[in-house]
Structure 1
Amino acid sequence: MRAIIQKSELRGDVQAPPSKSYTHRAIVCGLLSPGKTQISNPLFCDDTDASLRISKMMGAQIDDLEDITITGREQLLAPQSEMDCSDSGTTLRIFTALSALTKGRCVLTGDLSLQARPMTELLNALGQLGVNASSIRGDGKPPIEVNSRGIDGGIVRIRGDISSQYISGLLFACSKAENESIIEITTKLESQPYVEMTIEVMERFGVTAEPAKQWNQISISGKQNYIETSFEIPGDYSSAAFLLVAGALTGRVRVTGLDTESKQGDSQIISLLQRMRVSVDISKGGYTVNRSDPRPLDIDVSNTPDLVPILAVLSSQASGRTRIFNASRLRLKESDRLVTTTTELRKMGAKIEMTKDGIIIEGPTPLKGATTDSHQDHRIAMACSIAGLIAKGPTVIEGVECITKSYPDFIEHIQSLGADVELDQKTVRGE
């Protein structure tokens, strides 16, 4: 499916979508709790659907007609059929670790994009815990086979600069090990806020983990019990960032449903906007962003890599040189986001260059409409959409359907704010 976006001024209020990251983690905790878990305001998208589907395969009873009710299991089942994670890297990594808790053989796979994701570091970590986990093709990538009789516990060493989801998966699995586990992180832990989020959600279910002050080690007791509880999913800063930047570039947008005290790593979008001298008004439960002339900035995204595509769009309108760095892990996302962000914004006239671990943007540059490719990457599709709102002439985004991975209502939401969007030859204008 393609979207055609015309230059538009966005004004109005919009509710942030629920957090994908919190929804994943609440589903996993619900699976591990033999009681009944009530998850309110969940995000239903392609990625969380994958976690729900595999939780059912591992024995959870789930009602997800509106909110989500999960009755989990003390002993997870090893499914007889392959566990298809679709394109969800979070699902793949966390459920690979959880497969170590079953009493049998599990095979995890996904679509072609997911089958290109590296898993060697997690497989090696599981091996240190006595789990037989391997890449079926022998290349360190899915499909993955896990044969296990549970986890004894002990010391496991793992890098922290490839994917924080490896460590989140180990925390879930080790909480049900026979003995205490110590996860030693051998490099700087990047995307640390996501590991903090994992521990936060686990604590809501009665499970604890103790990180060292420098986050180079996490201790977690085994045989912990996940209690039944109710969990409300907060708004998602990662997705809201697109709406907030739209306000900064086009008009006035108020985004509600965001916890202003949130620990989400991508809540840093607010401080970044402020540092770039964008007008941001903070109120209880949300933010109002007004059209501004942003200033350039040097931005370390080691903890916030998902913000890079939309920060690049914003930086194209800043008066000077913006450097985004510590973003090398973006090469391992749905697309190589350093390449795809650079390629697609350059089509629209942005002065953007790729570096070894990031990008450099010179601005301000008037953008022009162009035919862009989502590369089946939801964040690239949404970034190009926001760029299209300030471009002269129509912007075409091929493969825009990939937004259902994380933000199915994105087009509807920007239309409600005034975006002129055409989908499948039918024009729908915002009111």
Structure 2
Amino acid sequence: MDMTVPPGSVRGKLTPPCSKSYAQRALAASLLADGRSELRNIGFCDDTRSALRCIETLGARTARTAGDILAVEGGLAPRGDVLRVGESGLAARLFTPIASLCTAPIRIEGRGTLLARPMETMIAPLRRLGARITDCGGRLPVEVRGPLRGGEAFIDGSVSSQFVTGLLMALPLAASDTTLRVGDPVSTPYIDMTLDLAARFGVEIDHQDYEEFYIAGGQRYTPVSLAIEGDWSAAAMLLVAGATAGELEVDNLSALSKQADTAVCTALERAGAGLVCEAERLTVSRRPLRAFEFDAAQCPDLFPALAALAASAEGVSAIRGTRRLARKESDRATVLRDEYAKLGIDVDLSVEDTMKIRGGRIRAGRVSAHGDHRIAMSLATAALRAEGPVTIEGAECVAKSYPGFFADLEKIRCCA
């Protein structure tokens, strides 16, 4: 689907979708809790639907009770032998260890760009901890058969924190205690999110500087009633839209959130945007924007939003952490460079692990999302400041995380 975004100003108020990172973790914990949990403020993008399919296959019974409340009757008792995770990297890396708790073989299948993303990092530790695994050269599909015993294992944490998250959520149910050592841990705010979510369900996990985790075996997840936070990753795009093209109030955002992408506020302040933070609300407004420096190594999902911000800022902005971008839904550093070039914005990747973006006039043009939801939203946000309409090919990919993104963009448009 092509989507044409005309230039214009924005003004108004929006509520971003719920955090898909929190929602997927909460769905997994609800499966592992024997009894009824209630998840409030939960919405369903493609990735969250993938997690929902997984927990239902693994034994959970779910029902919408009212509005945005999902009731989950937990209990790990597989009703099928295939988990279809769609294109969700988190679902693949979260539910593979959880499936490894089961004594029957379970196959994990993906589709699209996920089939090219690496899974080998979790295979050796799962085998070390008792699982039997058949894989396709470190890619999906994989077949696992448990049960996980616990013990000692090492995992390379330099590729993604999602591998660590899956193990941390599964291992409390192993028969024995586990010491998990993690080399070069990245995206530690996402690990904090996992630890926080597990604690809410009554599970304790100790760690030392994210490099060594001690997980007592034989624990139990306790059913809870839990409200899912608003998604800071989605909100980052909205906040940049307000900072570059008008004024916007974004609700249901907790400044105390464990989500990594709360860091967007730091970038906005460095760029000179007007920013007012309240208890559950942020208001951002356009001011003359200046080039900024920012380290996004621990929050790589912010790169596309920061690219749109930098494109409207005066001077050359420098964003560090590009090595984290190669194994996303697209090779995001290269895609951002190539697609923004079509709009007249220079993105320089010649400095190791750094993206330099020279802000300036944004031209009208035709660009491609490359099947990447965050690229589509970045280009649409930048289009608000373009000299003419920008047409985005493959814009339907926003459904992966924010199905209503383009409709919301139209809601806040106030003039051309």
TM-score tier after normalising by the smaller chain length: over 0.9
* Distance in 1 separating the partners of 2:115 and 2:303: 23
Partner amino acid for 1:152?
Answer: R
Aligned residue for 1:331, secondary structure, equals coil
What letter is aligned with 2:2? R
CA distance in 1, matches of 2:128, 2:288: 52
Equivalent AA in structure 1 for residue 177 of structure 2: E
Q: Report the alpha carbon displacement of residue 3 of structure 1 after superposing the two structures with TM.
A: 0.7
2:64 and 2:158 map into 1 onto residues whose CA distance is 35
1:194 to 2:196 alignment: no
- Counterparts of residues 16-415 of structure 1 (less than 5 Å): 16-64=16-64, 66=67, 67-73=69-75, 75-77=76-78, 79-80=80-81, 82-135=82-135, 137=136, 139-148=137-146, 150-187=147-184, 189-212=185-208, 214-355=209-350, 356-363=352-359, 365-415=360-410
Deviation sequence 1:202-246 (CA, Å, 0-9, x none):
11110010111x221111111111111100011111000001000
CA distance in 2, matches of 1:303, 1:12: 31
For 2:323 and 2:306, how far apart are their aligned partners in 1?
Answer: 16
User: Does structure 1 conserve the Cα–Cα contact (< 8 Å) formed by 2:312 and 2:385?
Assistant: no
What does residue 6 of structure 1 align with?
A: 6
> How many residues matched?
413
Conserved? CA contact 1:254–1:286, under 8 Å: yes
CA displacement at 1:78 relative to structure 2: 6.7
**Shift in Å, 1:357:** 2.6
CA–CA separation in structure 1 for the residues paired with 2:182 and 2:347: 34
For 1:322 and 1:278, the matched residues in 2 are separated by: 14
Counterpart residue identity of residue 70, structure 2:
I
In 1: Cα distance, 2:312 partner to 2:148 partner:
52
Name structure 1 gaps, 5 residues minimum: 421-428
Q: Residue 332 of structure 1: SS of its match in structure 2?
A: coil
Indicate if the aligned counterparts of 2:101 and 2:145 stay in contact, CA closer than 8 A: no
Determine the C-alpha separation between the residues in 2 that align with 1:405 and 1:297. Answer: 29
- Between the aligned partners of 2:192 and 2:414, the Cα distance in structure 1 is 36
Which letter maps to 1:394? P
- Render the CA deviation track for 1:247-303: whole Å, top value 9, x for unaligned: 110111111110122121100111221122211011221111111222222221111
Equivalent AA in structure 2 for residue 385 of structure 1: A
Identical amino acids, percent of aligned pairs: 34
In 2: Cα distance, 1:275 partner to 1:123 partner: 41
Q: Distance in 2 between matches of 1:317 and 1:279?
A: 14
CA distance in 2, matches of 1:359, 1:106: 41
Please say if residues 313 and 345 of structure 1, whose CA atoms lie closer than 8 Å, have aligned partners that are also in contact: no
Q: Any conservation in 2 of the 1:78–1:104 contact (CA below 8 Å)?
A: no
Gaps of 5+ in 2: none
Q: Give, in whole Å, the separation in 2 of the partners of 1:43 and 1:159.
A: 32
Which 4+ residue blocks in structure 1 deviate beyond 3 angstroms?
Answer: none
Q: Partner residue of 1:423? A: none
1:281-334 per-position Cα deviation (integer Å, ceiling 9, x unaligned): 112211111112222222211111000011011112222221112231211111
Seen in structure 2, the aligned counterparts of structure 1 residues 311 and 419 have a Cα distance that, compared at 3 Å, is farther
Distance in 1 separating the partners of 2:77 and 2:88: 21
1:132 CA displacement: 1.5
SS of residue paired to 2:112: coil
- Give the TM-score normalised by the residue count of structure 1: 0.93
TM value normalised by structure 2? 0.96
2:10·2:241 contact (CA, 8 Å) conserved in 1?
A: yes
Letter of the structure 1 residue corresponding to residue 191 of structure 2: V
Structure 2 letter corresponding to 1:164: S
